[in-house]
Amino acid sequence: MIGILAGILTTISAMPQALKTIKTRDVSGLSFWMYLTLVTGQILWLIHGTIIVDWGLILSNTISLIINGIIFFLIIKYQRQQHK
């Protein structure tokens, strides 16, 4: 039970950050390298989960990859605008 709750919390944890970044467009304090590392790691988790057919890994990493992917995209978009 604790593992399921832990999995749900860590999977959805980036949601408030995505909503805040979409609303405020404030990416100055966000680390490009964190989200690059995180997204890369989650893609590897997704590949690993698919290879061993672990639906917990597949589901949680698909959801958090979408959310972190949105944040990563917004960081690239708005940090590039700031450097023009």
Q: How far is the CB of 72 from its own copies (least distance, A)?
A: 11
Concatenate the DSSP letters of all residues of 6-34 into one string.
HHHHHHHTTHHHHHHHHHH---TTS-HHH
Nearest to its own copies of 29, 55 (CB atom)? 29
Query: Side-chain half-sphere of 71: how many Cα atoms within 13 Å?
Result: 27
Q: How far is the CB of 82 from its own copies (least distance, A)?
A: 12
Footprint on this chain of its own copies (rule: CB under 8 A): 2-3, 5-10, 12-17, 19-21, 24, 26-35, 37-38, 40-42, 44-45, 47-48, 51-52
In this structure, how many other beta carbons lie within 10 angstroms of the beta carbon of residue 67? 19
Q: How far is the CB of 19 from its own copies (least distance, A)?
A: 8
